[in-house]
Structure 1
Amino acid sequence: MTAPAHALRMGTTAGRGTLLAAILASGMVFLDSTVVNVALPRLGAELGATVAGLQWTINGYLLMLAAFVLLGGALGDRFGRRRILLLGVVWFAVASVLCGLAQDTGQLVAARFLQGAGGALLTPGSLSVLQASFHPDDRGKAIGAWSGLAGVSTALGPLLGGWLIDALSWRWIFFINLPLAVAVVLAALRWAPESRDENASRTGAGRRRFDVTGALLGALALGGITYALIDAPARGVRSLPVLLSVLVGLVAAVAFVVVERRRGETAMLPTGLFASRLFSVLNVFTVVVYAALGGFTFFLAVYLQNVVGWSALRTGLATVPMTVLLLLGSARAGALSAKIGPRWPLTVGPVIAAAGLLLLREVRPGASYWTGVLPGVALFGLGLTLVVAPLTASVLAAVADRFAGVASGFNNAASRAGGLLAVAALPLLVGLSGTGYEQRGALTDAYRGALLWCAGGLLAGAVMAALLVHRPPREAPPSQPCHSLPAATPPAAARREGRG
Structure 2
Amino acid sequence: MTSSTEEKSNFELPSNPSSSSQDAEGAQPSKTEDAYPADALPFPRRTLFIASVCMSMFINQLGLCNTLTTLLIIGDSFGISNGGTLSWFLAGYSLTIGTFILIGGRLGDEFGNKKMFVMGMSWLALWSLVAGLSVYSSHVLFVFARVFQGMGPALTLPNALGIFGKSFSEGPRNMAFAWFAASAPFGAMAGFVFAPLLAMAWWPWIYWSQAIAVALVAVFAAWTIPDLSLQEEDRNLTMSQRLDRLDLPGGATGVMALVLYNFAWNQAVVVTWREPYVYVCLILSLIFGALFFYIETRRARHPILPVSAFTLDIGFVFACTAAGWATFGIWLFYAVQVCLNIGGQTPLQLATWFAPILVTGVASALTVGKIVGRVPASYIMVVGQVAFLVTSILQALRPPDAIYWTYFFFATIIATIGMDTSLPAAIMIFSSTVAREYQGMGASIVMTLVNYSISLGLGFAGTIETNINHGGQTTADLLHGYRGALWFSVGLTGLGTILSLVYLFKTQFRPKSNGNH
Please say whether Structure 1 and Structure 2 have the same fold, judged by a TM-score greater than 0.5: yes
In structure 2, the partner of 1:11 is 42
In structure 1, the partner of 2:103 is 71
Q: Which has the larger radius of gyration?
A: 2
The one of 144, 148, 155 equivalent to 1:110 is: 144
**Quick one: distance in 1 between partners of 2:87 and 2:470?**
12
- Residue 440, structure 1, aligned to residue 440, structure 2: no
Following superposition, the deviation at residue 90 of structure 1 comes to 1.0
1:251-279 Cα deviation digits (max 9, x unpaired): 111111111112456111011221x2111
- Kept in 1, the 8 Å contact 2:387–2:415? The answer is yes
1:33-83 Cα deviation digits (max 9, x unpaired): 233222212212222223232222222222211121111122122222222
- Kept in 1, the 8 Å contact 2:250–2:300? The answer is no
Cα pair distance change 1:187/1:387, threshold 3 Å: closer
In structure 2, the partner of 1:308 is 343
The gaps in structure 2 that reach 5 residues or longer are 1-15, 20-31, 509-513
Superposition map of 1:81-230 within 5 A:
81-103=113-135, 104-134=138-168, 138-140=172-174, 142-149=176-183, 151-165=185-199, 167-198=200-231, 199-203=233-237, 209-230=245-266
Cα pair distance change 1:200/1:247, threshold 3 Å: farther
Cα pair distance change 1:372/1:66, threshold 3 Å: closer
409-418 or 396-405, which moves further after superposition? Answer: 396-405
Cα pair distance change 1:245/1:206, threshold 3 Å: closer
Is the partner of 1:369 in helix, strand or coil?
coil
Is the partner of 2:246 in helix, strand or coil?
coil
1:165-215 Cα deviation digits (max 9, x unpaired): 4x3343333223223223323323334333243344442697552123322
**Quick one: distance in 1 between partners of 2:390 and 2:56?**
35
304-313 or 125-134, which moves further after superposition? Answer: 125-134
- Kept in 1, the 8 Å contact 2:245–2:301? The answer is no
- The amino acid that maps onto 1:92 is L
- The amino acid that maps onto 1:321 is P
- The amino acid that maps onto 2:50 is L
- Kept in 2, the 8 Å contact 1:273–1:279? The answer is no
Following superposition, the deviation at residue 366 of structure 1 comes to 3.7
Following superposition, the deviation at residue 115 of structure 1 comes to 0.7
Is the partner of 2:105 in helix, strand or coil?
helix
In structure 1, the partner of 2:24 is none
**Pairs aligned (count):** 474
In structure 2, the partner of 1:494 is none
**Quick one: distance in 1 between partners of 2:71 and 2:281?**
26
Is the partner of 1:195 in helix, strand or coil?
coil
- Residue 61, structure 1, aligned to residue 97, structure 2: no
Is the partner of 1:361 in helix, strand or coil?
helix
**Quick one: distance in 1 between partners of 2:366 and 2:43?**
27
**Quick one: distance in 1 between partners of 2:172 and 2:347?**
40
Percent identity at matched positions?
Answer: 21
**Quick one: distance in 2 between partners of 1:243 and 1:251?**
12
The one of 243, 251, 255 equivalent to 2:279 is: 243
1:74-96 Cα deviation digits (max 9, x unpaired): 21222222222111111100101
The gaps in structure 1 that reach 5 residues or longer are 477-500
Instruction: Output the TM-score relative to the length of structure 1.
Output: 0.84
Instruction: Output the TM-score relative to the length of structure 2.
Output: 0.82
**Quick one: distance in 2 between partners of 1:42 and 1:33?**
15
Following superposition, the deviation at residue 418 of structure 1 comes to 1.2
**Quick one: distance in 2 between partners of 1:61 and 1:143?**
24
**Quick one: distance in 2 between partners of 1:90 and 1:133?**
22
In structure 1, the partner of 2:292 is 256
- The amino acid that maps onto 1:377 is T
Following superposition, the deviation at residue 12 of structure 1 comes to 4.9
In structure 1, the partner of 2:320 is 285
**Quick one: distance in 1 between partners of 2:351 and 2:419?**
18
- The amino acid that maps onto 2:442 is A
- The amino acid that maps onto 2:389 is A
**Quick one: distance in 1 between partners of 2:324 and 2:175?**
30
In structure 1, the partner of 2:53 is 22
- The amino acid that maps onto 1:32 is G
CA RMSD in angstroms comes to: 3.1
Following superposition, the deviation at residue 430 of structure 1 comes to 2.3
**Quick one: distance in 2 between partners of 1:48 and 1:383?**
36
In structure 2, the partner of 1:488 is none
Cα pair distance change 1:236/1:154, threshold 3 Å: closer
1:357-378 Cα deviation digits (max 9, x unpaired): 2222343444321124213333
1:219-238 Cα deviation digits (max 9, x unpaired): 22122222322333554424
In structure 1, the partner of 2:511 is none
27-36 or 316-325, which moves further after superposition? Answer: 316-325
In structure 2, the partner of 1:353 is 388
Following superposition, the deviation at residue 21 of structure 1 comes to 2.6
Superposition map of 1:417-496 within 5 A:
417-431=452-466, 440-469=475-504, 470-471=506-507
**Quick one: distance in 2 between partners of 1:293 and 1:142?**
24
